[in-house]
């Protein structure tokens, strides 16, 4: 069974609130950069950059990160994950970096992303913003900005769809135990 937990409007409100919280915490947008984790995190980051521009009239730098090469579960046997382009065409030295992802789960992707960012330079700080925090952390990682906390079972799958990537804005919880076989 799929149950929608966030609608298009909910997502839009969450993005707006996260944007305000980022600006409040960092006292504006100077010295701020956003880095989105591919694919949906990058889409969210792009939306937040646009919102920041609407509010502050400032275009903050936007980077895109593919963390596959930093994952801790790369090993022989199964099919290779496709590597997408990473693009951080600006210096991170001394910047406040807000890392954006769609779903925070075990925290392992974020660990990989932090390691990747540090290889690009020494930022003043790294903050974390996510649309969904579904719990079940396996590493000591906590988000600074959360769209919505959703308690899930570990077996569930949280599916985030973004208009730019999937044609519509929606967040669903998919329970594999109750999915009907067509």
Shortest approach of another protein to residue 128 CB, angstroms? 14
Site track 75-114 with another protein (rule: CB under 8 A), x = hit = xxxxxxxxxxxxx--------------xxxxx--x-----
For another protein, give the closer residue by CB, 25 or 122: 122
Please report how close the Cβ of residue 28 comes to another protein at its closest, in angstroms. 27
Decide whether 23 or 43 has the Cβ nearer to another protein: 43
Least Å from the CB of residue 179 to another protein: 15
**Residue 54 CB, nearest distance to another protein (Å)?**
29
Cα radius of gyration rounded to whole Å, the chain: 16
Residue 179: CA count within 13 A, CB half-sphere: 11
Measured distance CA(161)–CA(166) in Å, rounded? 6
Interface residue with another protein among 16, 26, 31, 68 (CB under 8 A) is 68
Residue 73 engages another protein in binding (rule: CB under 8 A) = yes
Give the dihedral of Cα atoms 167, 37, 159, 82; nearest 10 deg. Answer: 80
Instruction: Give min distance, CB of 58 to another protein, in A.
Output: 26
C-alpha to C-alpha distances, 103 to 15, 52, 89, 95, 182, nearest whole angstrom: 14, 21, 25, 24, 28
Q: Which of 144, 67, 149, 81 is nearest to 112 (CA)?
A: 67
Distance (Å, whole) CA 175 – CA 26:
38
Which residues sit at the interface with another protein, rule CB under 8 A?
A: 66, 68-71, 73-87, 102-106, 109, 115-116, 119-121, 134, 157-158
């Amino acid at each position: 069974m799929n149950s929608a937990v966030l609608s298009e409007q909910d997502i839009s409100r969450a993005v707006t609130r996260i944007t305000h919280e980022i600006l409040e915490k960092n006292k504006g947008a100077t010295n701020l950069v956003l880095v989105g984790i591919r694919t949906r995190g990058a889409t969210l980051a792009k939306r937040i950059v646009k919102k920041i521009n609407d509010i502050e009239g400032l275009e903050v730098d936007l980077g895109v990160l593919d963390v596959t090469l930093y994952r801790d579960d790369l090993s022989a046997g199964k099919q290779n994950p496709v590597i997408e382009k990473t693009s951080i065409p600006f210096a991170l030295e001394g910047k406040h970096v807000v890392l954006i992802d769609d779903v925070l789960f075990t925290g392992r992707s974020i660990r990989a992303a932090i390691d990747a960012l540090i290889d690009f330079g020494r930022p003043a700080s790294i903050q974390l913003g996510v649309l969904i925090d579904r719990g079940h952390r396996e590493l000591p990682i906590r988000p600074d900005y959360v769209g919505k906390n959703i308690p899930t079972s570990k077996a569930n799958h949280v599916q985030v769809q973004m208009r730019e990537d999937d044609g519509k804005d929606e967040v669903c919880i998919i329970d594999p135990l109750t999915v009907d076989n067509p």
